[in-house]
Structure 1
Amino acid sequence: MELNNTRARSPEKKQERFNQIMEVTNDLFLKHSYHDITLTTIAKALNWSRGNLYKYVNTKEEIFLEIYLSKQEEFINSLKESFESKKIDQVYFANKLSQCFDQHRLYLRYHNILATIIETNVSVEKLADFKIKSYKQREYFFELLQIQCPQLSPKQVKMLFLTLMYHACGLDSHTHGTKLLEDAMALANLEIYYDNYCQLMSTFIIMCLNNFK
């Protein structure tokens, strides 16, 4: 993607330029591992100098935090489209929620590396700002879980959220192979199996709704 590397002046132009940076970085993430992506590779994909990229970001993690927020917003919007603010049949709830997870597998892949990788190389101010925005976005999900499980305290609802999120991420890895994995399994003469994501996730959600304390 070739972009005008003249420095943006207005807030609107700066945001437009940053959106382009996020788009290019997300495209790189679809094709490469997180560790293979650097400010240099991002700048190259933009046809910018690395110095010009530094006018907008200090680390690649700052870009990934914003991408995470955009993907989480898309996921939350899908929840809003799928559910009303009332308690419903647990099986139906679990099926719909598992479908939302399945439709936003890229969000899960960002979440999978959020705490252990992305958040480890940003300033405390940047991370605090990210946490405020992220928790604000999640409020609707917390409300849905509270409606389905009114016996839980707000703290337990947040623990339920984390339990579902980390299992959703784990299942994504289990049911989504990479080219490297497929080549390795072929070289080892082993068959690779991909289980049904929605079915497995729905079963887990029902188990949590019935037993989480």
Structure 2
Amino acid sequence: MNYFGERGSSMPKVSKEFLLARREEIIDACAKLYATMDFKEITLKEIGSITSFNRTAIYNYFNNKEEIFLALMQREYECWSAELDEMVQEHESMTRDQLAQELAHSLERHERLLKLLSMNYFNMEENSRYENLVTFKKAYGESIRAVRHCLDKFCPEMKEKDKEEFLYVFFPFMYGIYPYAVVTEKQRKAMEGAGVDFVYHSIYELSYRCLKKLLVR
């Protein structure tokens, strides 16, 4: 197994940039399908059908669709972390309420990340190679660092134990945002049939309420 998982030595030598572009094309295809299909419906055949190469070539980069989804989630974490770092650079100061608003808006802009988090992705991690899982965990760790950086800069008076408590509450909270904010018509009807009152709240509203309680005390 060589760089990026290419099998065998008969594969012609190509540049690292070419390999990265191919890999990103597979992840892009998965993201496109995930916008209208669920995890169970998406197959390697479906992913391969909207790439510029055949399905068999996907195995040169990923062992299975779980690894592709893990790579997609990794990319989503990386994009979110980069956005938070940019926010820290662009603002000299913020009130805690302003920080709650900005973090809530950032989650609103990364709906795909929240959708991925709402999946039971235990099997996704279990079916991915160790090296891929380590790379993903690094991206996850960077997102924690980025949020912590926001707290360090905009809440300098916040005690260390309060920052730790914030992180331990906020990150698990993210796993449940999407199912509450995005409800299908079938789910709505089922809740009505069960006599469950449902009041729609957006990703921003749910996130802001939680963040405000954590930050503005």
Q: TM-score range by the shorter chain?
A: 0.7 to 0.9
The Cα RMSD (Å) is 3.2
Q: Which runs of 5+ in 2 are unaligned?
A: 1-10
Specify whether residues 157 and 66 from structure 1 end up closer, same or farther in structure 2 by C-alpha distance, changes over 3 A only. Answer: farther
Q: Distance in 2 between matches of 1:128 and 1:64?
A: 15
1:145, CA displacement in angstroms? 2.5
* Between 182-191 and 142-151, the greater mean CA deviation after superposition: 182-191
1:151, CA displacement in angstroms? 0.7
Specify whether residues 56 and 183 from structure 1 end up closer, same or farther in structure 2 by C-alpha distance, changes over 3 A only. Answer: farther
Map of 1:20 onto structure 2: 25
Match of 1:163 among 169, 183, 195: 169
Q: Distance in 1 between matches of 2:123 and 2:165?
A: 21
Question: Does the 8 Å CA contact 1:145/1:157 hold for their aligned counterparts?
Answer: yes
Q: Distance in 1 between matches of 2:40 and 2:186?
A: 15
1:88, CA displacement in angstroms? 3.0
Q: Which runs of 5+ in 1 are unaligned?
A: 1-5
1:103, CA displacement in angstroms? 1.4
Provide the aligned length of Structure 1 versus Structure 2.
204
Deviations 1:54-105 (A, max 9, x none): 1221121222222112212222233234345766321111111111111111
Partner SS, residue 58 of structure 1: coil
Map of 2:5 onto structure 1: none
Question: Does the 8 Å CA contact 1:57/1:63 hold for their aligned counterparts?
Answer: yes
Q: Distance in 1 between matches of 2:189 and 2:14?
A: 48
Matched, 1:91 2:97: yes
Deviations 1:2-35 (A, max 9, x none): xxxx978221111111111111100111111112
In the superposition, the TM-score normalised over structure 2's length comes to 0.76
Partner SS, residue 20 of structure 2: helix
Match of 2:87 among 82, 89, 93: 82
Q: What does 1:39-188 correspond to in 2, within 5 Å? A: 39-46=44-51, 48-84=53-89, 88-113=94-119, 115-147=121-153, 148=155, 150-153=158-161, 157=163, 160-178=166-184, 180-182=186-188
Residue identity over aligned pairs, in percent, reads 20
Question: Does the 8 Å CA contact 1:160/1:208 hold for their aligned counterparts?
Answer: yes
1:108, CA displacement in angstroms? 1.3
Partner SS, residue 25 of structure 1: helix
Q: Distance in 1 between matches of 2:20 and 2:122?
A: 27
